[in-house]
Amino acid sequence: MRASRLARWALAWLALAVLQAPAFDLQSHRGGRGLRPENTLASFENAIRLGTTTLEMDIAITADGVPVISHDPALNPAFTRDAQGQWLTKNEPLIKSLTLAQLKTYDVGRFNPSHPYGREFPEQQPRDAERIPTLAEVFQLVKDMGAHDVHFDMETKINPEHPHSTLAPEAFVAVMLKVIREAGMTDRVMVQSFDWRTLELLHSMEPRIRTMYLTIQAPSFNTLKDGSWTAGHLLADHGGSVPRLVRACAGVAQGIIWAPNQNDLSAALVQEAQGLGLQVIPWTVNQKPQMQRLIDWGVDGIISDYPDRLREVMAQKGLALPQGVHP
């Protein structure tokens, strides 16, 4: 009898542990730019209807202090038309130089057919008259759709090598954090950055927000080559181990995620990072074989331009799928 009770208790504990285990994090990169215009309400709505765990997006700040959703510090000629319907020819003006009202005159709903960028995403469906949304508008969209389980992964687009292109980290974080708090979304937000000064600020200003350490080690762009991107922390001081570097930088902070470029990851690194208490969510993974390999390695989530493809792979692997919302 006693053995039977122990067996039932063990099964109950196992069931509880499964229920409490974090779900695989399906992140729609820039809202899923492979399917809809990136970082727009159209892309975020599509991702929510499709079924996504987290809306990944990028933050910029306007001249009048409004957080908006844009990957680039300046308007991008690959998909931006002015109020007269003319395609921009340069990466300008800077968003920090425009008021929100001025920014809203630009249309970002389709690719410029003469620009090579759009050829990377032939499946994207255009949406004319899409404007760069504010962060508050994204939060309102999620509330209006009743997407109560959707989370947000927002990247602070701050570049220490071009400090005059954006606000300084302290002002940037303060403005963004104010909108997050006003929307009551603190517990549903994670903030990611290549510039780790952002993340250190958040640990002291709002420790409830999860932080996500972005890294890349490519010949053309290496954020770990010196301390300029990593708030002065050096990879060499941690035996060349990126997971150990992230863990040391985060200190005692909780909810820490390492987000490496997918090409910098291995099964051994996934295990090392998770052994240090980190989650591992690589970017940007668009091909099914790579998705399958990373899931086999045990990553905690994937950031993808194609959430539909990732859903298919997750289903094949027997992973629980986030439910789409259809208000």
Per-residue pLDDT tens digits for 252-268: 999 999 999 999 999 99
pLDDT reported for residue 327:
78
Q: Which residues contact 42 (CB under 8 A, 6 or more apart)?
A: 31, 36, 109, 127, 130
Contact by Cβ (8 Å): 257, 280: yes
Contact by Cβ (8 Å): 301, 56: no
* Over residues 160-174, mean pLDDT: 97
Phi then psi for residue 81, to 5 deg, are -115, 145
End-to-end CA distance of the chain: 51
Decide if pLDDT at 8 tops 80: no
Contact by Cβ (8 Å): 191, 154: yes
**Percentage of residues in the chain having pLDDT higher than 70:** 93
Q: Given the structure tokens 């290549």, which residue do they identify? A: 194
* Strand pairing report for 189-193 and 67-69: unpaired
Nearest-angstrom CA–CA distance, 154 and 144: 20
Whole-number average pLDDT of the chain: 94
DSSP state of 250: H
Q: Given the structure tokens 């910029």, which residue do they identify? A: 60
Decide if pLDDT at 13 tops 50: no
* Over residues 167-196, mean pLDDT: 98
Nearest-angstrom CA–CA distance, 251 and 229: 17
Nearest-angstrom CA–CA distance, 311 and 288: 10
pLDDT reported for residue 21:
41
pLDDT band at 18 (very low <50, low <70, confident <90, very high): very low
Q: How far is CA 267 from CA 88, 239, 297, in A?
A: 43, 18, 5
User: Which run of H or of E encompasses 25?
Assistant: strand 25-28
Q: Residue type for 216, please?
A: I
Contact by Cβ (8 Å): 99, 63: yes
Q: How far is CA 219 from CA 222, 225, 226, 231, 290, in A?
A: 7, 10, 14, 21, 21
List the structure tokens of 203. 């640990």
Contact by Cβ (8 Å): 280, 268: no
